[in-house]
Structure 1
């Protein structure tokens, strides 16, 4: 747990600087790596063993603030060195480090994710990743499509699908043999249930963190319950899209809802905003990814 004084300072800094920790416009995104639910209804794409290499030669990451390590090291700042996908931190032991080794990961992994990115930003990120001709591309996107000012502002499912299909097509035009690991969108309602137990977290949320789910965190009336349920259903719809689109590509693996179903506790949440993964949470995401990337094909 953080000491009291840094927490007080954190609230002051956030109050002065916050423009929305989730559901904002994308910023950043070009760093080398080292410097039973609806989500599970569709099975991961069955990639024949001849097409899936559990030891890719390089890794590129696309997505949003989670892959940038946002708020894992300090307030309102990216920390790509602790990214679950490409970070060099020994506390996280990222997917790239696990697959390539630390020395090779330093020169053969790249992080093109951007804080605040939505699925509409993925085709552009994927174009940059494809230019590297990576052995594996990791995808984690969708939380910001649900984390909007209101449920009505969430990305329509049809648009989400079209943007993801466009991102995959963009990759295939330049890097037809690249493998893709797709992580499910986290369970935002569970993040609400965990973070709302912390007074500081609720104060930070009031400043614009995923308002569609986290707004009025203590409200349990019918309107608030319906709002959260609406957001949760949209997240489940997004995960269904990720699974279905991935299943059409013989070199793509969906995580079968593993990230969505992971029971993030307070130790796995940033103690700056009680929403993004902490270093511990990033390590758990790396474990999940490594398990799915190296699993034998059915």
Structure 2
């Protein structure tokens, strides 16, 4: 099996919801013509729900992902040009676009029967943000073989090791060179400016995380409110059913009593019938003797 053939099999598998992945992967391995091919397929790890959801967004709604990448490029340009007005405007636009992309991701996941928790939605936003800031991360996400989420951490490049089942062409999955944290110096204003830009990027990232977490809290609060309302409805229904049940039990008790009385009366009537038949027979025999 060539690498392109393995990638084709992998892409088909990672389009499946995570719950269906393992059985489908094992079936594909059993159908492989060679043992080495089966082993390669068996090594494909199951994707985390977060990674699957982001890949689904990129596959089903690529336009919104392209908008994120375009906005990320414009943000980098504004940072390079030290344009605070553009940074504020683009920062607000980024938050709106990330919120829209996250909501669309949850919608697609719900449609496929995959539930994303509040923490998973934070990871979704972090992964999309990582793709916006790092072209290699963007290529990895677009490739559709993501198995875990990504995150931007300070001045470090996005860690890609183990993030995808197979590396896309042109992207190194190994350890990439770290961006050294700059040290400010009065004699080196250029270094100081780089530090300011890096701090500004980290601040925007933190604000995004706060906003996403706040939205998750609101979503969970709304869900809990809906559950509380549903619980009240069910408790009211239970009370009504219990009252109906008590009425049925009372009616049933009366029926049981009536059945017992009826059985007693029936047996008495049967005995009376036997006695009446006996008397009738005796009367007929007497009549016959008298001629």
TM-score by length of 2: 0.28
Give TM-score scaled by structure 1 length: 0.28
Which of the two has greater strand per residue? 1
Q: Which has the larger radius of gyration?
A: 2
Q: Which has the higher contact order (CA 8 A, sep 6+)?
A: 1
Q: Larger % of helix: which?
A: 2
